[in-house]
Amino acid sequence: MTQPNILELAKQGDAKAIALLLNRQLQAKGITAAASLKDGCLQVMLEATEAPSQQALAAWVSKSIAGLGAASIEKVKVYGRQTGAKVPAWSQEFEVAGQKLPVTDVTEGRASSSENTESNQLSLKERAKLGDVEAIASLLNLPLQNKGISATASLQDGCLQVMLEGDRVPDEEAAVRIVRRELTNLKAGAIIASVKVYGQQVGEDFPAWNREFELVTRASQSSHNLGVNTTNRFSANNSYAETSQEQSSIQILNETSTKLLSDNQWNIAFIILSVIAFFMTFVSPNLAVILGIAASIAYVKYQNTPTGKAAAAKRQLEALQRAEEGEQERLRKEEQKRILIEAAQSEAKLLTTNLAHTALDEFIKVNARLSIGVNYVDLAGVITPAKWATQKFEKSKDYNVSPYLSELISKNMLYYEISQECFQQKVAHKPLNSQFKAILQAEFPELKGSLISFSSDSVISKLWQTAYRYSDEIEKILESSDNLSG
């Protein structure tokens, strides 16, 4: 069943097609819909692991069904229940006649039911003028439905936001032109000051495009024409007025700067002004400040353009994806570490001496001393007993019993020794030797070359923190082994 066929069948009242359309929107939220039609009553069952929200979904389902304009559907019963439950958690019934679009077919239904259409339109217009977003969406759906586009709307602080969805991304220019025309005809300027229109494909999480414009009614355009020499241009059926030459003075002031440059040109202007401002700081600081302000204005302008908003949305999405990938990588490493420790715990039971325990005891003493502070002169004496204990363990047969345990003990001692080397280089004001520097770059990729060379305090802190963590892992592994005699 192709996408157009699904929509056409749904308009004819086919319950399976209607369920498919509803599931496009709901399955991403973990909700499934089933539908059946009998005697003009469409019953819709919504199921999820937790009972779906009645407040959020009942009216939405009813509005979606009404938007199909199916003549065979007179009322809708919506049920919500938890998956596996036999009894619905809630139910709600709607009469479709009072909500559905005035026409079932844009091209043919108008002629057969013109009286009902006019009376319903009047009712919708009156509600829409009062700011009823469902009525506004229904009016917008009249010309959009035959293009396979459905509209939903929300109104807050005088800004009407309109979401347009279709099986394919709606054409931006055509869709915005229709929305502007219908809202201009509505003459709801007292309630709606600005409009934001979004277009996206059904099932997508982010809009493919968005457009914002100020709503200018014919009345305000006509009064403006008395004061300035402009020409109104109406479409063939006088359904809307073009506003390119009739905008108010306030709109001209707000939009002139945006029209001076295209989206990408604002971005280029920001970059050029920023570079010039940087170099001017060495020549004329006052001019540099002015250029910096101009660069900031250019950046704000770019951010408010469709291209800038799309770029910001893309960056946000990429940041979320990176964060998700980072979290998955962290979980993967934690699982890998858990497996290694469990294997080492089993192997530690095969140790024949207590040399590993002795090395751990010395590490704990070093960590305790480092935690309260140690100076350069004393550090060698602090770590020497741990070094001897480590060397004894590495020469014993136990060193080959558990590879992961042996690696932790050797690395723990190595980090103490590198920290001592860092102290020596800090006092002597010399760079770290190449061997230790290579080890640091391999073990800690986040420590850049310049940080390793010039910020020994940060490197030492990183080494000690890692040594503490290794000591904790060694202790966890050795907890499972029996106390052994040397």
Tens digits of residue pLDDT in 216-262: 544 344 334 433 333 333 333 333 333 333 333 334 334 444 444 56
The listed range with the strongest mean pLDDT (44-58, 222-236, 386-400, 456-470) is 386-400
Tell me: pLDDT of 437 over 80. no
| β-bridge partners, 194 | 159, 214
Which DSSP state fits 397? G
pLDDT in tens, 31-60: 988 988 888 888 898 999 888 888 888 888
Least confident of 105-109, 283-287, 421-425: 105-109
Picking from 216, 301, 295, the residue whose alpha carbon sits closest to that of residue 254 is 301
Helix (H, G, I), strand (E, B) or coil at 356: helix
Helix (H, G, I), strand (E, B) or coil at 188: coil
Instruction: Between 438 and 406, name the one with better pLDDT.
Output: 406
Q: What is the pTM of this model?
A: 0.38
pLDDT of residue 97: 54
pLDDT of residue 252: 37
Helix (H) or strand (E) holding 151: strand 149-156
Structure tokens at 480: 């499972």
Q: Helices (DSSP H) in 145-284: which residue ranges?
A: 172-186, 218-227, 249-260, 263-280
pLDDT of residue 355: 94
- Mean pLDDT for the stretch of residues 123-152: 80
Query: Could you give the CA distance from residue 333 to residue 297 in angstroms, rounded to a whole number?
Result: 45
Q: For residue 279, what are the contacts with CB-CB under 8 A and spacing of at least 6? A: none
Query: Could you give the CA distance from residue 475 to residue 16 in angstroms, rounded to a whole number?
Result: 62
At residue 205 the predicted structure's pLDDT band, cuts being 50, 70 and 90, is low
Tell me: pLDDT of 428 over 80. no
Tell me: pLDDT of 122 over 60. no
Query: Taking all residues of the chain, what is their mean pLDDT, rounded to a whole number?
Result: 76
Tell me: pLDDT of 425 over 80. no
Matching residue, tokens 């043919």? 108
Tell me: pLDDT of 88 over 80. no
**Largest CA-CA distance found in the chain, in angstroms, rounded:** 104
Tell me: pLDDT of 484 over 80. no
